[in-house]
Structure 1
Amino acid sequence: MIFETYSYPRAAVIGNPSDGYFGKTIAFVFSNFEAKVQLYQTPELQILPERLDGTNFNSIQELVADVNLAGYYGGMRLLKAMIKIFYEYCTANNIKIDDRNFTIRYKSNIPFRLGLAGSSAIITACLRALCLFYDVEIPKPVFANLVLSVETEELGIAAGLQDRVAQAYQCPVCMDFDRDLMESRGYGHYEELNAKNLPHFYIAYRKNLSEGTEVVHNNLKARFEIGDPKVLQAMIRWRQITEEFKAALDKNDYQSMHDLMNENFDLRRKTIRVSQGNIEMVELARSVGASAKFTGSGGAIIGTYTDGAMFSKLQNTLNSKGIEVIKPNIVNN
């Protein structure tokens, strides 16, 4: 029997990057792209490589282009680390798993290193497959924490928790990472939202802006830990922005949501270095009347638009600069 599981890219709607710093955010996953894992019983345990795990190149130029696009690592280390964390979780919680072996493989068409949580999507799909294969149930908040621990603790990649929460719940989620909750039980308060109540969103990305999340988060974390006043104040405001956005969402106040998304990015730009290519994407989107902010750490943006005419103008304007624009198919469980 072949177990096939999926996970999807994440778009941070509001509040990022405060999720790693006791903040508050809203995010959803969308099915325009996917990470897929297949797992089936075999005599030996084997992890099969995918395209990004390749080590053969036709030239030095091809190797450099591959590294610039996808980084130095593929997905095999993600699967390997998740299998290890899953086993340790089961052992620590006295969950008996049998001694069957398996072969596991993954495929992903999620644009890589653009702040769409492509790596955690692979890890999430892997954990789902392991749970199905060994018939193990893991509560969603704990599930999200395990996925995060693969990156932050096992592989040393700086990251926030919201990606994994949205991917664990597979619906729009309002997440409160209150310090007392995080320190007492290890996870925050997560409220599922109905995708039907959300405004019209677009997502745009430029593949040549790929940059690992650790580039942003390592510096931000260091500044947060030393008590940089600029960073601390920004974290407070990002939390407030999310609360105001949620109130506007409840009232269908689309203009306020538009303004808050713009403020989210403007505050980020004042707090963290943003490359000119990313700034250009945001400014181009805003030039046609749409709101715009990062979906994650950079390379992709998200915003609201009012109608089909604005979306067409948005597409034409950004496409002329080599920027892809899509309407996200928001997953709602």
Structure 2
Amino acid sequence: MLIETRAYARAGLLGNPSDGFFGKTLSISVRNFGASVTLWQSPELHIEQQEADANTFRSIFHLCDTVGQIGYNGGIPLIKAAIRKFTTYCVDQGIRLSNRNFTIRYSSSIPRQVGLSGSSAIIVATMRALMQFYKVDIPIEYLPTLVMQSETEELGITAGLQDRVIQTYEGCVYMDFAKDLLDSRGYGHYERVNPAKLPKLYLAYNTDMSKVSGKVHNDVKARFNRGEPLVVETMQKIAHLATLGKEAVEAQDYEQLNHLINQNFDYRTQIYNIHPVNIKMIETARQLGASASFTGSGGSIIGMYENDEMLNRLFVELKKLNTRVIKPYVM
């Protein structure tokens, strides 16, 4: 029995980054890119090594370039974490797993380290494969929490629920991460939005961001936890944009939605330090008449465009910044 599963890249449309601050978001899955997992029964449990997991390099420069593009760890730690968290969940729920082993292989076309959630996609695809192999049904509303815990509890990675929710539900989803919901049941309120009502969207990602040395320091989480008024109030404003955006999409009020996308990024600049490369991407898109905001934490932007002429200008001008433009495929 050969099991094949897939999870797609994602882009936050509105509400970023309030999901990590008990806020609200509106996100889309981007089917242009995805992570795939293939799993089949075998005598021993084996995780196949891919290029991203290799430890042999042509030179020290090849090593540095590889780490810059894909990080220090490939997909194997993610798969191990997913398997362990899946097993722990089943034990806790009293679910008896059959005594079978498997071989698992993964691949991914999601650009790394540019805010399109390639790591969580590998975990989502792995969870789906394990659920099929062992015939375990994990409630869809709780699966994103389990995926997030694979990263936060098993690997010590800072992560929020937004990415895992949209990669689990797919399409376009409005999410409310109210603290009382998360505390009482471990997941928020997730509501599908008809993707057919979305406007003309472009997505652009910088192919050099993974090579930029150094990270822009931000201490927003600590400031939020201390109750700093500027941070708390700004996060509330960002979260409210998601609610307004959901209403705008459903009403197909694209003028309002265009304004909200720009506002999201503008609010963000009030409390975050933004890398100059990201600033230049945003400014270039806006100078051409498009709206622009981050899809995630940086490296990729998303916005609305009016017509094919504007889209072509986005292709040309953003390419000068080593930035690739695509039309996100959402369904």
| TM-score interval (norm. to shorter) | over 0.9
**1:262–1:292 contact (8 Å) kept in structure 2:** yes
The reply to whether residue 102 of structure 1 matches residue 133 of structure 2 is no
- Give 1:221 shift: 2.2
- Counterpart for residue 12 of structure 2: 12
Q: Distance in 1 between matches of 2:100 and 2:322?
A: 48
Q: Distance in 2 between matches of 1:321 and 1:238?
A: 28
- Give 1:299 shift: 0.4
**1:211–1:298 contact (8 Å) kept in structure 2:** no
SS in 2 for 1:113: coil
List aligned pairs for 1:1-333, cutoff 5 A: 1-210=1-210, 219-330=219-330, 332=331
Q: Distance in 1 between matches of 2:211 and 2:175?
A: 25
RMSD: 1.5
- Give 1:211 shift: 8.1
Q: Deviations over 1:131-172 (max 9, x none)?
A: 000011111111110000011111111111010000111221
List runs of 5+ in structure 2 lacking aligned partners: none
- Give 1:248 shift: 1.7
Q: Distance in 2 between matches of 1:163 and 1:77?
A: 19
Q: Distance in 2 between matches of 1:153 and 1:221?
A: 18
**1:158–1:217 contact (8 Å) kept in structure 2:** no
Identity of aligned residues (%): 48
Aligned residues: 329
Larger mean CA deviation between 151-160 and 120-129 belongs to 151-160
SS in 2 for 1:204: strand
Deviating 4+ runs (over 6 angstroms): 215-218
Q: Deviations over 1:303-322 (max 9, x none)?
A: 01111111111111112332
Q: Which amino acid aligns with 1:274?
A: I
**2:172–2:194 contact (8 Å) kept in structure 1:** yes
Q: Deviations over 1:94-149 (max 9, x none)?
A: 11110100011100010001110100000000000000000111111111100000
SS in 2 for 1:30: strand
Q: Distance in 2 between matches of 1:86 and 1:221?
A: 29
**1:48–1:104 contact (8 Å) kept in structure 2:** yes
SS in 1 for 2:325: strand
**1:4–1:36 contact (8 Å) kept in structure 2:** yes
**2:206–2:321 contact (8 Å) kept in structure 1:** no
Q: Which amino acid aligns with 1:138?
A: I
List runs of 5+ in structure 1 lacking aligned partners: none
Q: Distance in 1 between matches of 2:254 and 2:211?
A: 31
- Give 1:223 shift: 2.2
Q: Deviations over 1:276-311 (max 9, x none)?
A: 000000011111100000000100000011111111
The structure with the largest strand share of the pair is: 2
Q: Which amino acid aligns with 1:131?
A: M
SS in 1 for 2:310: helix
Q: Which amino acid aligns with 1:229?
A: P
**1:211–1:299 contact (8 Å) kept in structure 2:** no
SS in 1 for 2:291: coil
Distance 1:64 1:277, change over 3 A: same
Q: Deviations over 1:245-297 (max 9, x none)?
A: 12222221111111111110111112111100000000111111000000001
Q: Deviations over 1:74-99 (max 9, x none)?
A: 11000001000000000100111101
Q: Which amino acid aligns with 1:319?
A: K
Distance 1:83 1:322, change over 3 A: same
**1:3–1:38 contact (8 Å) kept in structure 2:** yes
**1:114–1:209 contact (8 Å) kept in structure 2:** yes
Q: Distance in 2 between matches of 1:10 and 1:303?
A: 14
Q: Deviations over 1:214-261 (max 9, x none)?
A: x67983322222222221111110111112212222221111111111
**1:79–1:126 contact (8 Å) kept in structure 2:** yes
Q: Distance in 2 between matches of 1:34 and 1:290?
A: 26
Provide TM-score, normalisation by structure 1. Answer: 0.96
**1:44–1:101 contact (8 Å) kept in structure 2:** yes
**2:26–2:242 contact (8 Å) kept in structure 1:** yes
SS in 1 for 2:142: helix
Q: Which amino acid aligns with 1:167?
A: Q
Q: Distance in 2 between matches of 1:211 and 1:201?
A: 27
Q: Distance in 1 between matches of 2:220 and 2:3?
A: 39
Distance 1:23 1:216, change over 3 A: farther
SS in 2 for 1:111: coil
